[in-house]
Structure 1
Amino acid sequence: MAVTTPSPTPSIPHLDIDPFSIAFFDDPFPAQEALREAGPVVFLDKWNVHAVARYAEVHAVLNDPLTFCSSRGVGLSDFAKEKPWRPPSLILEADPPAHTRTRAVLSRVLSPAVMKDIRDGFAAAAEAKADELVAKGSFDAITDLAEDYPLSVFPDALGLQQEGREHLLPYAGLVFNAFGPPNELRQSAMERSAPHQAYVQAQCQRENLAPGGFGACIHARVDTGEITAAEAPLLVRSLLSAGLDTTVNGLGAAIYCLARFPEQWARLRSDHSLARNAFEEAVRYESPVQTFFRTTTREVELGGVRVGEGEKILMFLGAANRDPRRWDDPDAYDITRRTSGHVGFGSGIHMCVGQLVARLEGEVMLSALARRVAAIEIAGPVKRRYNNTLRGLDSLPVTFKPA
């Protein structure tokens, strides 16, 4: 009888890359290419984790929540071994079946039908903002547009009080820094976090939310028995971080892309129906959310490599979104590209809960600008904002040439 010997598991390439370093944030693309080309699964010695940077493996991990769980944390820290820094998210840091029930509530509160209802108000605010910016001529596209517009519509839709809204962006920044390792970015965000956390905790309570807003709608599900009174504030909290950062960084990315690639701006000016896709392609191209972690629930074969139970897997969403195995000419920003399937908002059951709001805001804002602005010119030094998970700018001085 012939004896078959099992084929040896291919050895995992070990890479000396720190994806949470300032050098990496400044120019991630050469390192992302090195990660993709080294193999389907690599090991990062700096943080002692397995990592995937090719589209196929990133997509596979995102779409197998039973094997690659979220309940042990979607950052580097493992909730099975250390205490979370805040009560875990019922959406981001939960697995089925618990996740299925709470996610269904948020999906109804932010349904396509609801987006239809708020669209006119969001569009009118975008038109007013576009008029204001064209009149100004030169301004900072991050503070005056990418941050200012979402902050002018989303907190109202959520039902937040006027006072204290300046805590919203620092809180979102804190949450995404906390997914990273215990580096300087995470430590300093934690040290400054107390007032932001206190504000958010208070704002998520039923009595502080205006009737008719998303927040009140979530709390109303307590009365129908769909969620408990303890779960409702945590679900409102999920919206607070998910509904702003995606839009702010996505809009900033879109303006940055359209300023650098004037032929794409001309294309959008000649066909305003491309506004939604111009935003979508910016999310693929810049990937505002760069990384997320999962933890293996069992020994598993991934990309031909055996990975043990209880291992952290770091997914490079930004690298997957520029994988030449998946995209033609991935390093080109092309607003006519078929962008469906990009993982800029994640994929599978944990896809970004605020994505419909982000897409609506991105579309109406770019559409309003396309009707009024002949050219976008970068008018000064561009500064990056450093965050362990998010890729975005701190400052983008631009000049709008009126149409």
Structure 2
Amino acid sequence: MKLPRWNVWCMARFDQVRRALMDPQTFCSGAGVGISNSRKEAPWRPPSMLLETDPPAHTANRAAISRTLSPAAIRSLRERFESEAHRLVDSLLDQPTVDVVREMAEAFPLKVFADAIGIRPDGRDNLVAYGNMVFNGMGPRNELWHAAMANAEAVSKWVLDACRRDSLDPNGLGIQIYASVDSGEFTEEQAALMVRSFLSAGIDTTAHALASAMWLFAEHPAQWQKLREEPARVKNAFEEILRFESPFQMVFRTTTRDCVIDGVRILADEKVLLSLGAANRDPRKWPEPDRFDVTRAVTGHVGFGAGIHGCVGQMIARMEVEALLAALLEEISRIELADEPLRVRHNTLRGFEKLRVRLRR
């Protein structure tokens, strides 16, 4: 359907959304993955070398990232993630209530993810602000967009400086991107932008997923008990959290040619909103889609996107959430809401601005 106020098309059914995600030749990312067409309007930042490029450039860029995020490299992070998860849970156990958003959902990825990439420890709060800019920046230029961009110049400078070779920890993943500079594949500036691509989606989406997990298990205590009885289901539980809450709710594509989708003709050079959240609740795909069930066969959701532009850091995000949930399962019998949660108002993300819980041993 067409959204006349914004002059964009919208796809919400699972089959439509997945088809578009899997067809970058028709639904491209090179004109920006937000509502604005970056070929007609100057973007607020240099485009992402991963999310906002198309083949063949995207293919080469993705290959460089994939070499850095090899299965062996990701496996090497597990012990650190699990150790930090237990340390964090231990520090929260004796508190009467826990501020989930600040003390857990943001704190954990700001520690383990930023350490893994090799980001310097001072000023990491800029990563939260930057993620807010990136994702609110995908939407229309409304009050949320302007609020997110209030300190854009300073935050963007800090992030890009933190991604430069001489700022990165020599033992982190980020510095490995610079091997592509030494081999002549990329310039120093391009390598910094590649590292920045790690960070654009590495904090906010994971933080919203973690907060959503805590809310869901507080609202559905029987599902928490089921998970405690069968902790091996923790991986599947996270996939159901992504399907049910879809922290990253929508992404945009631009048509490269005229096409017909389910009898509707869309012309070339049109913006198309792909509603990931709606697709993940489509009853044509998921039986009883509004029921949260950690035992559901949930393979195939589009919470991380799909196709060549699927989230490059999704394996790290999975490891983060699974490590923290596993640590909580060992210590916590029940998660209870301590006050009324407050949803965050956001252009593209779904999560919480305020969420306070009690952790019962």
TM-score under structure 2 length normalisation: 0.98
After TM superposition, give the deviation of residue 230 of structure 1 in Å.
2.5
For 1:158-307, list aligned pairs within 5 A.
Answer: 158-307=117-266
Equivalent in the alignment of 2:349: 390
2-side partners of 1:208 and 1:155: how far apart?
13
1:184-206 CA-partner distances (Å, limit 9, x unpaired): 11122223212211111111111
**AA matched with 1:188:** A
After TM superposition, give the deviation of residue 224 of structure 1 in Å.
2.4
After TM superposition, give the deviation of residue 112 of structure 1 in Å.
2.1
Instruction: Name the SS for the 1:295 alignment partner.
Output: strand
1-side partners of 2:278 and 2:70: how far apart?
30
After TM superposition, give the deviation of residue 208 of structure 1 in Å.
0.6
**AA matched with 1:98:** A
Equivalent in the alignment of 1:38: none
2-side partners of 1:181 and 1:341: how far apart?
29
Contact 1:246 1:354 in 2 (8 A): no
1-side partners of 2:82 and 2:121: how far apart?
21
After TM superposition, give the deviation of residue 217 of structure 1 in Å.
0.8
Match of 2:277 among 315, 318, 335: 318
Equivalent in the alignment of 1:119: 78
Equivalent in the alignment of 1:27: none
**AA matched with 2:7:** N
Instruction: Name the SS for the 1:243 alignment partner.
Output: coil
Equivalent in the alignment of 1:75: 34
Equivalent in the alignment of 1:373: 332
**AA matched with 1:310:** D
1:40-63 CA-partner distances (Å, limit 9, x unpaired): xx0111111111000000001100
**Where does structure 1 lack aligned partners over 5 or more consecutive residues?**
1-41
2-side partners of 1:225 and 1:313: how far apart?
36
**AA matched with 1:189:** A
**AA matched with 2:32:** G
1:357 maps to 2:316: yes
Instruction: Name the SS for the 1:314 alignment partner.
Output: strand
**Where does structure 2 lack aligned partners over 5 or more consecutive residues?**
none
2-side partners of 1:96 and 1:78: how far apart?
18
After TM superposition, give the deviation of residue 293 of structure 1 in Å.
0.5
For 1:5-154, list aligned pairs within 5 A.
Answer: 42-154=1-113
CA 1:338–1:225 in 2, change beyond 3 Å: closer, same or farther? farther
After TM superposition, give the deviation of residue 246 of structure 1 in Å.
2.2
2-side partners of 1:224 and 1:369: how far apart?
44
After TM superposition, give the deviation of residue 150 of structure 1 in Å.
1.2
Instruction: Name the SS for the 1:51 alignment partner.
Output: strand
1:145-202 CA-partner distances (Å, limit 9, x unpaired): 1111111211111111111111110110000001001111112222321221111111
After TM superposition, give the deviation of residue 109 of structure 1 in Å.
1.3
Equivalent in the alignment of 1:29: none
Instruction: Name the SS for the 1:191 alignment partner.
Output: coil
**AA matched with 1:309:** A
Instruction: Name the SS for the 2:75 alignment partner.
Output: helix
2-side partners of 1:113 and 1:136: how far apart?
37
1-side partners of 2:321 and 2:297: how far apart?
17
After TM superposition, give the deviation of residue 286 of structure 1 in Å.
0.5
My pick for the range that moved more, 274-283 or 221-230, is 221-230
Q: Which runs of 4+ in 1 moved over 4 A?
A: none
**AA matched with 1:301:** V
1-side partners of 2:316 and 2:47: how far apart?
23
2-side partners of 1:206 and 1:393: how far apart?
34
1-side partners of 2:71 and 2:327: how far apart?
21
TM-score under structure 1 length normalisation: 0.88
Query: Number of residues paired by the alignment?
Result: 361
After TM superposition, give the deviation of residue 137 of structure 1 in Å.
3.9
1:328 maps to 2:287: yes
* Two-structure CA RMSD over aligned residues (Å): 1.0
